[in-house]
Amino acid sequence: MILPDHEIRQYLAEGKIVIEPLSDPDVQIQAACVDLRLGSEFKVFKHTQEAFIDSKNPKQYTEDIILEDGKSLFLHPKEFVLGITKEKIKIPADIVGYVDGRSSLGRLGITAHITSAWVDPGFEGKLVLEISNLGKMPVAIYPDMRVAKLLFFKMASPAEKPYNMRDSKYKNQASVTESKIHKDSSIEWLTKIYKDTNSKV
């Protein structure tokens, strides 16, 4: 069940869902979602001599950009950056969040996320956005603009081990965080196998 606007307001009033700062509730709370604003921090991919990104042993392949008030970031065709929401969110163990792009930006070719739509029950922190320009012209994006919408799904019962009770990689993230896939248990296991195999050669 997706929470409608009046239940979102009720959950916010009761502190079951936290969205801070919620600068303009009348504008941001839609019929069945909450619009989230773009933060001022980004990570952009550097030009490098590396042939590829090794997912099990990544190097520093991005650099930070923090925009001053009133400044914009020009996103060129096929360019990809990591951004972050201005708002910090907190959801309980019986709510799942889902992030989706806004139609108005989508019509300019801008995606707000690629695969990071799911927000686990019990998540707390800011949401990192995987922003890309699929169009043919550069597009200027600005901090504080409404960039994505967050939907809330009510679960049949609370999760036994919500996100905040697990050894989660992005728990309480407050800034743009690069991929931590190399910390997955499966990747660590593969890395050990490769090291053991190479040591026997």
What confidence score (pLDDT) does residue 100 get? Answer: 94
Q: What is the arithmetic mean of pLDDT over 79-108? A: 96
Q: Is the pLDDT of residue 199 over 60?
A: no
Kindly report, residue by residue over 10-56, the tens digit of the pLDDT: 999 999 999 999 999 999 999 999 999 999 999 998 877 777 877 77
Tally of residues, the chain: 201
* R_g of the chain computed on alpha carbons: 19
What confidence score (pLDDT) does residue 185 get? Answer: 65
Domains of the chain: 5-199 (2.70.40.10)
Q: What are the catalytic residues?
A: 130
Q: Compute the distance between CA of residue 85 and CA of residue 71 in angstroms, rounded to an integer.
A: 16
In terms of Cβ atoms closer than 10 Å to its own Cβ (0-12, 13-18, 19+), residue 114 is: exposed
Q: What is the arithmetic mean of pLDDT over 109-138? A: 93
Q: What is the mean pLDDT of the chain?
A: 88
What confidence score (pLDDT) does residue 52 get? Answer: 80
User: 194-198 long-range contacts, Cβ below 8 Å, gap at least 24?
Assistant: none
Q: Please calculate the CA angle 30-34-36 and round it to the nearest 5 degrees.
A: 130
- The pLDDT confidence band at residue 126, using thresholds 50, 70 and 90, is very high
